Amino acid sequence: MPRQNSDDSSQAVQRQQALSRWDNEGGAADPTVTPVADKKQIPTPEMSNADLVALHVRVIALENLLISLLATASDQQLELAREMAGYISPRPGFTHHPLTIHAAAHMIDLIERSSRFR
């Protein structure tokens, strides 16, 4: 059961802090944390076609699971998800990054697809 919190201002602050992590085109960069690039670089193994297919299957499964959860979400939760999608969309004065635009559109699409099961 969701916990009720009467302090809307602290929820707004928490939401703003969480959403502010998306400021660098969808990444979760924290200016107080040293980026990995500044440390010793860890080699990344090449992904085979089988690895990519398995990853694709897992993403499809996660999307379907998310759609089922969104189908039971409250109107307030759905509005919050839409707000987050709008927040990661490029703001005035910022560069329009195709991946960010696509991610925001995909979030809205998942929300809309969930409405079919409500």
For the stretch 31-89, pLDDT in tens is 555 555 555 778 888 999 999 999 999 999 999 999 999 999 999 999 999 999 888 76
Residue at 105: amino acid letter:
A
Whether the predicted pLDDT of 93 surpasses 60:
yes
Largest CA-CA distance found in the chain, in angstroms, rounded: 50
Stated pTM of the model? 0.58
113 inside domain: yes
19 inside domain: no
58 inside domain: no
Decide: 101 and 89 in contact? Cβ < 8 Å.
Answer: yes
Among the residue ranges 22-26, 53-57, 90-94, 105-109, the one predicted with the least confidence is 22-26
Domain that holds residue 79: 69-118
d(CA 73, CA 68): 9
Q: What is the pLDDT of residue 91?
A: 66
Q: How many residues would you count in the chain?
A: 118
Q: Considering its fold, how many domains does the chain have in total?
A: 1
What totals of helices (H) and strands (E) does the chain contain, helices first?
4, 0
